[in-house]
Structure 1
Amino acid sequence: MKKINILFYICYSFLLSVAIGCADMLDRFPLDALAPETYYNNEQELMSATNNFYGMFPEASQGYGESEDVVCVFTLPEAVIGSRTIPTSGGGWSWDYLRNINFYLEHSHRCPDPAVREQYDGIARFFRAYFYFEKVKRFGDVPWYDKALPSNDADLTKPRDSRIYVINKMLEDIDYAIKYCPDKTELYRVTKWTAMALKSRICLFEGTYRKYHGIPGYEELLDQCIDVSGEFITSSPYSIYNKGDKPYRDLFSSMDAIAQEVILARDYDKGKAVVHEANYNTMASTYGRPGMNKKVVNSYLMTDGSRFTDKADYETMEYYDEMQNRDPRLTQTVVGPGYMRINSTTVESPNFNSSTTGYQIIKWVTDKNGDGYMGSSNDYILFRAAEVYLNFAEAKAERGTLIQEDLNISIKKIRDRIGMPNIDMAAANANPDPYLSNVQTGYANVTGPNKGVILEIRRERTIELILEGFRYYDVMRWKEGKIFEQPYLGMYFPELKQGSGDNRFDVFDMNDGTLLDKDKVDICIYTGKKPSGAAVKNIRKFYKLGNEFRLTNGFEGNIIVHDVKDEPRKWREDRDYLYPIPTQERVLSNGKITQNPNWDDGLSF
């Protein structure tokens, strides 16, 4: 027996006794709440009980803080660099919210009004589906519980149910929610439309996950995604927000979520001291330094719909030039030439101290005079119409039923917002983008007659939903984890031509195409001693190679971040698409809860 087994078995009796006291987390009624015998009697009490479930939604930082391969931060997450270990406990294997949901559903019958009860039961079942969706994404098979269990119930340590079974039970819950949740629009409360958006999200995820991971039954899931997404597009009161000069930017910088497109948001309010840190996250030099990966910058199309990466010199194009005539979302997501923060007249160039790649993020950044530098109080979007539109197009493409009209009612509406041409399905399939199908910069697993249009829809999804918390699990469902092993690059700079020996420097335009314009901000990159004199007299910012960043070829090339030579990354195709089960859970169940494939926890069962 392995040493780790002996340690666990020595502790087993103690852990089991502790479990008797705490494993009833699935049935304990919160001590600070009213007893069920005197509660759940009316709408106010049902509303109060279900309000507690909203806490399971992600905070804003979990969205704009995504740091997989499209946005690179100073410290990469363990899942990306391949350094995850099996936790003893925790690790996402938490059931507190489920306990509360099931307890509520067992006692809501005390309310004598069936219409009220069905509405709030619908909200509770929405949250149970949401809860299990997060568990399935992370662990695959998980035990399904739809009732509060007494502390001596054997099911507390039952084996995991298959993801197929759990997904089916989730869809029963979400269909109930769609039927009974209110159909009015509310920014901060779950409605029928939120439930439809969640079903769209679940079915696209699971349908494509099964397709690319070889699990039977993907067709039915994609069909359900198509049905609910199509119904949402044609019958919901939501549409793509397109007002103003920069509607994409404004959608995320607005203090109050824009109800035309936003289905559900998390409310932030500086007056109530409820804030997040989007401004600080993107502007500080000590908070991750998020920068867009060069491969994503390259994937933004030209304004006429042609591919930037079809240009012969795209790999060696400097910042100012590469930003010209591109999809407007590029410079509404990262700092572009001539950038001025909202309600400011000061031109700012990218701050390399705040961005690992030089492509400094501005999505979610707000008015300088409003939120300033630290606390941000713009609402965080949880569900919006554009995602449902994207889900519809992708599901139809993966199912093989997509036609041009489907793109016209989905992708076109999104691109109309920023004046970009629609995807041409026939042209895309006739000439799939080699950049997006390349193993280093795209998706090598896409095949078949719809390869071209699937790649284009993935391009659109990546660009439209960047920094909204989708990327990691998109890569998981597409079975493209090897993406994380590829280089993370930033801006390109030609050879530093001025100076000599180790004291080299050059100046670069970042704003208007004219170097050293006294009214603009240009930069100097140097090695060795900081240059001085007439050549740099109007330079506003200096960056020393080796301090703020390195270039791929010494004195020239792309900014290189987390060089794989120095920081090797390893993605295991046979293991890493699922997280490991904590060892304590396996011990307490005496092995009935199995470990995920190829995660070796040292246990013999």
Structure 2
Amino acid sequence: MKLYNYITKLCAGIIVSTLFFACTDDLNQTPMSTIPPEIFFESESQLESYVNNLYAPRNKWNNGNDQEFDVHGNWSFGTFGLDNNTDNMNNKTSANHFIPGEWRVDQTGGEWAFEFIYKCNYFLKYAQEKLDAGKITGTRANIDQSFGEVYFFRAFEYFKKLQRVGDFPIVTEPLPNEMNPLIEASKRQPRTEVAKFILADLDKAISLLKDDPDGGRKNRISKYAAYMLKSRVALYEGTWMKYFQGTAFVPGGSGWPGASKEYNKNYTIANYSEVMNNFFQQCMDASKIVADRFPLVNNNGILQQTVSDPENPYLNMFAATDLKGYSEVILWKQYDRGLGITHNVPIAAQTGGYVNGLTRGYVDNFLLDNGKPIYADPARYAGDNYIADVRKNRDGRLWLFLKEPKQKNLLFNTENAGRANPVEAYPNITSSNAEVGYGTGYAIRKGGTFDGAQLTDNGGCYTGSIVFRSAEACLNYIEANYEKNSSLDGTATQYWKNLRDRAKVNNDFNATIAATDMSKEALNDWGAYSAGQLISPTLYNIRRERRSELMAEGLRMADLRRWRSLDQLIIKPYHLEGMKLWGPMKAWYVDDKGVSILKYGVVDANVSAPDQSIYLRPQEINPNSLVLKQGGCKWAMAHYLYPIAIQHFLITANGSVDSSPIYQNPYWPTTANEGAIQ
């Protein structure tokens, strides 16, 4: 069964009922079906049918952001747009996360939801009962595979909750339609225990999953996908513990809100360093298993510009229709135009990526090909007067993926190209049309294809979407190894050299470290900080490698949060910028009479003003922009976690919000429509 964008026919036994109370969440919902559990879950095919539905996204389309299983949605730039509104990528819409007071507590909804968790628990309870009773027919390995996938999915969902709200109820069974059990189940467990629970679920998944469940297609969750997720989870919580130690954001820290509830008031993390380092060790162990089994795909250093040019496997890995042959890919999603399972990513990559562009800080952060930062070798750095200059003598990832005017975007099947842009034009930064506009002027080729046959219709593209690839495992190992030991072992050293060799960058990372000036890196990279302080050059370059390799793959904001890399924005706002518009490139924007089409400082402005910066500031174009008025992007401590909507307190309260077993996240109020306290 392919990892499809949606499943056209829901299987019996999982259709979700209405909620027990009109305003309650879904802790207590019951799957309604003509086939109840007592006669379902009796064959391996029935188990597989249930599990197939868990692969389906819960939201058909969400502007390309926050896809539930991190795959391409339609009418968007898919996963390649997920880093928008970070210091890596930017468009013309300001995120309220960076406007304190504008991100407010909701009355209803939010992240406090259990529907998907319930579906997993329903399976694990009733299918396990049938298995224990010997009532499931089929091959045990196939039965185990289904159970392993459900444990994986529950872990995946809980990891999203861990990142967004931290402490969270650990619910392992479907609950009865009774208020008292539901209120009891709403008690938040300390995030450290949630992380341990996730890792335990992944260990169960690993013990049950097959090495290769679908004959090498890599469309189903394998043992190695579970190892990859385990690596990610363990690194996340280990670094969170390190950088938030002693604060309200870790259980037992000063001001931790969990201490206000009787059920959590005595919770402490005994042997804090031991627990933290255990997370790092688990990350290393899982990462190595993945990295050693899935070798990196080759980058031949070629960007195809004629039909006779060799293909570049590294570039194509992000836009092929069939990814099973790419050694680095662990899990991917397949699309099928004939079944109507499509997306729009290659069309977006033909132009401005749905206005998602790279920031100047990100572009400047890439090394020169000799391994030096751009400020450390001004003779080799060609400058940024033109986009072509920016690409010269640079890290091969920037050179390969940053588009340049006059490059060819289309080479094959041009007669069936549909909405193609055969030759890259000057960035259309003045357009308000998201389908053709450019956000920063720095547009990326990642996700794009040179084949017009895959661009037939608007919304009809069918290239594959990577869920996990092993380069992340290499990066996770390097970081966890250094965070745990303050040094790098031979495995970490080799992984780092392999990544730099593939990127066509001098692999002597020690020379890079020696040439690194943290005061200059702080100008380009929020990750240069943790808890408002500059980090060491070695750790910084480990983070830089991660930033460079995982370009536009949706992990940047998670990294910034777990590193606590946004405190500095509380005191000093930051301007997100793009290309050097107010230099020679301004000549690109004239009409047929030679008159500039650039407008600034007026209500209908289409670019930011030159007296603000010589670089384009996409979120500061409108004179009424809140980002412009506050002097750039700002942060509040509360924003490291999402607020819990007031609805959920009231449902479980006995007359007042304070009597609810639920407690609000640090520095968020318990009044709807109010912003962060600090």
- TM-score, with normalisation over the residues of structure 1? 0.83
**What letter corresponds to residue 218 of structure 2 in structure 1?**
L
- 1:191-230 to structure 2, matched below 5 A, reads 191-214=222-245, 215=250, 216=272, 217-230=275-288
CA contact (8 A) 1:400 1:450 kept: no
Candidates 197, 203, 209, aligned match of 1:169: 197
Q: Could you give the per-residue CA deviations for residues 271-325 of structure 1, whole angstroms, max 9, x where no partner exists?
A: 222112223444567x841111000000111112121132448776443322211
**What letter corresponds to residue 124 of structure 1 in structure 2?**
V
Q: Structure 2 regions of 5+ residues with no counterpart? A: 1-17, 57-67, 251-271, 303-311, 415-421, 430-436, 621-626, 654-659, 673-678
**What letter corresponds to residue 265 of structure 1 in structure 2?**
W
C-alpha displacement of 1:436: 2.6
* Cα distance in structure 1, aligned partners of 2:19 and 2:29: 15
Q: Could you give the per-residue CA deviations for residues 534-563 of structure 1, whole angstroms, max 9, x where no partner exists?
A: xx9xxxxx7524354235437x82112223
2:122 aligned with 1:58:
no
* Cα distance in structure 1, aligned partners of 2:34 and 2:448: 39
**What letter corresponds to residue 158 of structure 2 in structure 1?**
Y
Query: Which moves more between the two structures, 319-328 or 171-180?
Result: 319-328
2:494 aligned with 1:409:
yes
* Cα distance in structure 2, aligned partners of 1:332 and 1:558: 23
Query: Which moves more between the two structures, 412-421 or 97-106?
Result: 412-421
CA contact (8 A) 2:71 2:466 kept: no
- 1:372-383 to structure 2, matched below 5 A, reads 372=455, 374-375=458-459, 376-383=461-468
Candidates 641, 646, 654, aligned match of 1:583: 646
SS in 2 for 1:332: helix
- TM-score, with normalisation over the residues of structure 2? 0.74
C-alpha displacement of 1:330: 1.1
CA contact (8 A) 1:279 1:374 kept: no
Query: Which moves more between the two structures, 26-35 or 65-74?
Result: 26-35
2:218 aligned with 1:187:
yes
**Which residue pairs with 1:596 in the alignment?**
665
| Cα distance change of structure 1 residues 525 and 284 upon mapping to structure 2, 3 Å threshold | closer
**What letter corresponds to residue 94 of structure 2 in structure 1?**
L
- 1:259-298 to structure 2, matched below 5 A, reads 259-283=326-350, 288-298=354-364
**What letter corresponds to residue 180 of structure 1 in structure 2?**
L
**What letter corresponds to residue 290 of structure 1 in structure 2?**
N
* Cα distance in structure 2, aligned partners of 1:600 and 1:170: 28
| Cα distance change of structure 1 residues 24 and 477 upon mapping to structure 2, 3 Å threshold | closer
**Which residue pairs with 2:322 in the alignment?**
256
CA contact (8 A) 1:393 1:457 kept: yes
SS in 1 for 2:411: coil
* Cα distance in structure 2, aligned partners of 1:451 and 1:596: 31
Q: Could you give the per-residue CA deviations for residues 216-252 of structure 1, whole angstroms, max 9, x where no partner exists?
A: 3321111110111122223x2x111116533332111
Instruction: Tell me the number of residue pairs that the alignment of Structure 1 and Structure 2 aligns.
Output: 549
**Which residue pairs with 1:78 in the alignment?**
96
| Cα distance change of structure 1 residues 430 and 325 upon mapping to structure 2, 3 Å threshold | closer
| Cα distance change of structure 1 residues 557 and 531 upon mapping to structure 2, 3 Å threshold | farther
C-alpha displacement of 1:168: 1.2
Query: Which moves more between the two structures, 440-449 or 22-31?
Result: 440-449
2:393 aligned with 1:325:
yes
Q: Could you give the per-residue CA deviations for residues 359-397 of structure 1, whole angstroms, max 9, x where no partner exists?
A: 112211223512327223111111111111111111111
Q: Structure 1 regions of 5+ residues with no counterpart? A: 1-16, 496-505, 509-522, 537-541
Query: Which moves more between the two structures, 380-389 or 562-571?
Result: 562-571
Q: How many percent of aligned residue pairs carry the same amino acid?
A: 26
Candidates 542, 565, 579, aligned match of 2:628: 565
**Which residue pairs with 1:339 in the alignment?**
407
SS in 2 for 1:87: coil
Query: Which moves more between the two structures, 71-80 or 436-445?
Result: 436-445
| Cα distance change of structure 1 residues 222 and 342 upon mapping to structure 2, 3 Å threshold | farther
* Cα distance in structure 2, aligned partners of 1:562 and 1:406: 42
| Cα distance change of structure 1 residues 76 and 381 upon mapping to structure 2, 3 Å threshold | farther
**Which residue pairs with 1:512 in the alignment?**
none
2:109 aligned with 1:90:
yes
SS in 2 for 1:491: coil
Candidates 111, 123, 126, aligned match of 1:104: 123
| Cα distance change of structure 1 residues 427 and 72 upon mapping to structure 2, 3 Å threshold | closer
**Which residue pairs with 2:427 in the alignment?**
351
Report the structure, 1 or 2, having the larger strand content.
Answer: 1
SS in 2 for 1:565: helix
| Cα distance change of structure 1 residues 32 and 77 upon mapping to structure 2, 3 Å threshold | farther
CA contact (8 A) 2:532 2:567 kept: no
CA contact (8 A) 1:490 1:559 kept: yes
